[in-house]
């Protein structure tokens, strides 16, 4: 069997998650603190795997069957991103990064709960996995080839998240100063609000792209 579908799936999946988004920024921040990195990366990659498998299996029709779903998810996601972005701005304003520099963070379950919100409250995740990847997979008429394509996309998620989470520690020496954490939090806050604005704009215009 040709590996071309797997390579295509890998490239497609990787390109979709490569952009700096809310989920990626959170994984990066946890990676810098070296806390719960394995379980966080596993959760994010496994969530992607589930959605990609659903998309390849043909459940992308769910979005078409429930036209209000993208709007509801967009509003919920925007609200969460606005609040989390505000938290990052407040942290940057206070400038107390004793815990971060010491490598302390929230507990495992609290960390995974935040990751779940970033993952499952983001309508673009469904559009990318159930919609786009699911649609591309239909170009492969036989199931073995289609599954190979989906497997490539799933592998890309695992490679990306674990590379991001564990690769972040190479920046740790730079993050030993409160000023560095302050800059990071301001950037993350801006990213969160930019994504929230894009979601709300999509709701206003009736398009979620």
Amino acid 70: pLDDT: 63
CA distances from 128 to 53, 59, 189, 204 (A): 12, 13, 24, 20
- Averaged pLDDT of the chain: 82
Residues 178 and 101 sit within 8 Å (Cβ to Cβ): yes
Helix spans in 18-137 (H): 22-33, 37-57, 61-65, 69-94, 98-101, 108-120, 123-126, 134-137
Residues 15-59 have pLDDT tens digits of: 778 765 778 888 988 998 888 999 999 999 999 999 999 888 875
How does 183-209 read in b/e, with b if 16+ C-beta sit within 10 Å?
ebbeebbebbbebbeebbebbeeeebe
Residues 118-158 have pLDDT tens digits of: 888 777 777 778 767 777 787 777 888 888 999 999 999 99
């Amino acid at each position: 069997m040709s590996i071309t579908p797997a390579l295509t799936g890998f490239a497609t999946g990787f390109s979709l998650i490569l952009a700096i988004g809310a989920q990626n920024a959170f994984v990066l921040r946890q990676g810098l603190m070296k806390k719960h990195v394995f379980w966080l990366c596993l959760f994010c990659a496994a969530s992607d795997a589930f959605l990609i498998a659903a998309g390849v299996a043909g459940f992308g029709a769910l979005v078409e069957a429930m036209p209000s779903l993208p709007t509801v998810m967009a509003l919920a996601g925007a609200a969460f991103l606005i609040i989390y972005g505000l938290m990052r701005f407040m942290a940057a304003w206070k400038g107390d990064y004793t815990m971060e520099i010491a490598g302390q963070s929230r507990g495992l379950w609290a960390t995974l709960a935040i990751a779940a919100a970033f993952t499952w409250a983001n309508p673009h995740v469904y559009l990318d996995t159930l919609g786009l990847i699911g649609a591309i997979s239909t170009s492969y008429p036989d199931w073995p080839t289609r599954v190979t394509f989906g497997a490539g996309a799933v592998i890309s998620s695992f490679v990306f998240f674990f590379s991001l989470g564990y690769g972040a520690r190479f920046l740790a020496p730079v993050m030993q100063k409160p000023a560095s954490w302050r800059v990071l939090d301001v950037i993350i806050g801006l990213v969160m609000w930019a994504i929230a604005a894009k979601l709300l704009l999509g709701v206003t215009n009736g398009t979620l792209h």
